[in-house]
Structure 1
Amino acid sequence: MGVYWAIAVRSFRRFSTYRIATLSGAFTNTVFGFIFCGVYLTLWHTRPGLGGYDVSDALTFVWLQQGLLAPVGIFGATTTVELGERVRTGEIAVDLYRPTHLMLWWLSVDAGRAVFQLLARGGAPLIVGALAFDLNFPSSPTQWLAVAVSVALGILVSFGIRYLVALSGFWITDSRGVESMALVLSLFFSGAILPLVVFPGWVGGVARATPWAATLQVPIDVWLGRNPRGVGWALAFQLVWIVVLGLAGRMATVLATRKVVIQGG
């Protein structure tokens, strides 16, 4: 495990060098936070209690959403872009020669990235939002712990999705089309546009059952204490998707490795 820890640490250091990009990203998230707040205030004043959220819940959702977009990798991250590009160009052969597991290697890279983004960009929009609006915060150490666990699980679910998207390039040559489709699905089903609790009927039921819901909506609901079936069920939902995506990723890795060997590397 020492090698994977070292990879994560180096990944953290790598992303910490992009200071201007990090500051720009935090500023952009903050600006969009105010824009979304304007939209949400109008919507919730028109429909009070929409989706079981009050106005304070809705505004808290906005700032948590903006703070988690980068750590969770809703718009894609190293795993999607860099790994997908390495598959497309054939540089993935170098990764396969390493005496490490391909999936664990990239999971370590993504973990270092996510921790840095969480520390550098996750808190800034939330602090600004808390100064400007009356937001809700966890009321007990137990709830804070549940939030931390849920955010970590959400990042793992997101990695599982992005890893499979990147590896699709082994079969379709270029994964950029799949990346674009995955981005649309992620924005719609994660809660990056609207909380999934406002989606009506069967559409809402389907949306809340997808793995994308486990990346953003579930951690925010744990923060808000808005889990109808309890926090335990919410965390179990995330764990189930981690197992499913992990097994799918492992199988895809094995099949992809065989494909590379068949093609002569």
Structure 2
Amino acid sequence: MYWTVLASGFRRHATYRVATAAGVFTNTVFGFVLTFTYVALWDERPRLGGYDMAEALAYVWIGQSLLAACSLMGGGFEEELIQRIKTGDIAVDLYRPADLQLWWFSANLGRAAFQLLGRGVVPMAVGALAFDLALPEHPLTWLAFLVSVLLGVTVSFAVWYLVALSVFWLLDGAGAVQVAWLSGVFFSGMLLPLTVFPGALGEVARALPWASMLQVPADVFLEKRTGWELWEAYAFQAGWALVLLAAGRAVQAVATRRVVVQGG
């Protein structure tokens, strides 16, 4: 059943061809803007954050490729879930012979798979054609990268699931979404690699779950994490995924008791 939900999520987003084309265009434009910004910065500070120029530019385009797949700025399943909670339609979801969290996780995984293909491949290809990007030297790195992306998508889902469930108490998710959106942009490393952040700020940023969504997959792609360090990266991502998914399940158990109050 959950595989059917996943496939349905993929097909559903595949129907929005104009929106996908617009997203590809936007990601590509922002990729160029960030690339020229990085070029100016790395010209002044070569090896900033442990990256050379080619690695830094590859980091930019990896970020644009994962922006939608990992919902770094939101715009995924959480909008629909928030609306269903606000209207009380969530009660219908609870009557389904399926686990609520697994249902939405499956749907989001289908969405993320399409976004990675639909909005990720083209910008990365354009960036590789237009600039000298550092690409993996070993074929297995691509597989290692996809595993890291899958874990990053899982962490992203767990974060946004908690954000959506907060509406049971807040009644309006705008504030929580804004906080999560800003946190995702800053602490995922979308603006700058987290290795650039100084001192305690850098240590904290690299320890937060948002690092799993971009910084870690990017380092896997750039072969900064190999051997034992690769397994440590996976453990970091999987650890946050398990903690946040467990938190989501606990909050769900408490929150669904409010359906009668909020859903009528």
Give the shorter-chain TM-score range.
over 0.9
Give the Å deviation of 1:220: 0.4
Contact 2:86 2:262 in 1 (8 A): no
Structure 1 runs, 4 residues or longer, greater than 3 Å off: 261-265
Alignment RMSD (CA, Å): 1.4
Secondary structure of 2:67's counterpart equals helix
Structure 1 unmatched runs, 5+:
none
CA contact (8 A) 1:71 1:115 kept: yes
Partner AA of 1:213 in structure 2: A
The Cα offsets for residues 32-72 of structure 1, whole Å up to 9 and x where unpaired, read as 11100110000011111111010001100011100110111
Determine the C-alpha separation between the residues in 1 that align with 2:76 and 2:237: 22
Distance 1:264 1:188, change over 3 A: closer
- C-alpha deviations, 1:121-176, integer Å up to 9, x for none? 11101100111111111222332221110000000000000000000001111111
Select which of 52, 55, 76 maps to 2:53: 55
- Distance in structure 1 (CA, Å) of the matches to 2:263 and 2:201: 46
Partner residue of 1:76?
Answer: 74
Distance in 1 between residues matched to 2:171 and 2:74, nearest whole Å:
19
Aligned AA for 2:37? V
**Structure 1: how far apart are the matches of 2:225 and 2:98?**
39
Larger deviation, residues 190-199 vs 227-236: 227-236
Task: Quote the residue 1:209 is aligned against.
Answer: 207
For residues 119-134 of structure 1, the aligned pairs below 5 Å read: 119-134=117-132
Select which of 162, 166, 169 maps to 1:168.
Answer: 166
Secondary structure, aligned partner of 2:172: coil
- Cα distance in 2, alignment partners of residues 182 and 83 from structure 1: 15
Contact 2:10–2:111 (Cα < 8 Å) also in 1 = yes
Match of 1:26 in 2: 24
Sort the Cα spacing of 1:174 and 1:49 in 2 relative to 1 into closer, same or farther, 3 A: same
**Counterpart amino acid of 1:235?**
Y
Amino acid at match of 2:184: S
Shift of 1:20: 0.7
Query: Which residue of 110, 118, 133 corresponds with 1:112?
Result: 110
Residue from 167, 186, 200 that aligns with 2:184: 186
- SS at the partner of 1:186? helix
Structure 1 segment 62-101 matched on structure 2, within 5 A: 62-101=60-99
- Equivalenced residue count is 263
The AA in structure 1 aligned to 2:5 is I
- Residue among 35, 49, 57 paired with 1:37: 35
* C-alpha separation in 2, matches of 1:122 and 1:84: 26
Do residues 145 (structure 1) and 143 (structure 2) align? yes
* Compared CA separation, residues 262 and 30, structure 1 to 2 (3 A): closer
Residue 131 of structure 1 aligns to a residue whose secondary structure is helix
Report what 1:249 is aligned to.
248
Q: Note if 1:135 corresponds to 2:133.
A: yes
TM-score by length of 2: 0.96
User: Who is 2:44 aligned against?
Assistant: 46
On the 8 A contact 2:90/2:259 being kept in 1, the answer is no
Which residue of 1 is the match for residue 235 of structure 2?
Answer: 236
Assess if the C-alpha contact under 8 Å between 2:187 and 2:205 holds in 1.
yes
**Contact 2:73/2:182, CA 8 A, preserved across alignment:** no
Identity of aligned residues (%): 54
| Residues 254 and 137 of structure 1: CA distance in aligned 2, closer, same or farther (over 3 Å) | same
Gap regions ≥5 residues in structure 2: none
Answer yes or no: is the 8 Å Cα contact 2:91–2:263 preserved in 1.
no
Q: Deviations over 1:79-135 (max 9, x none)?
A: 221101111121111111111111011001101100111111111011001111111
1:77 alignment partner, SS class: coil
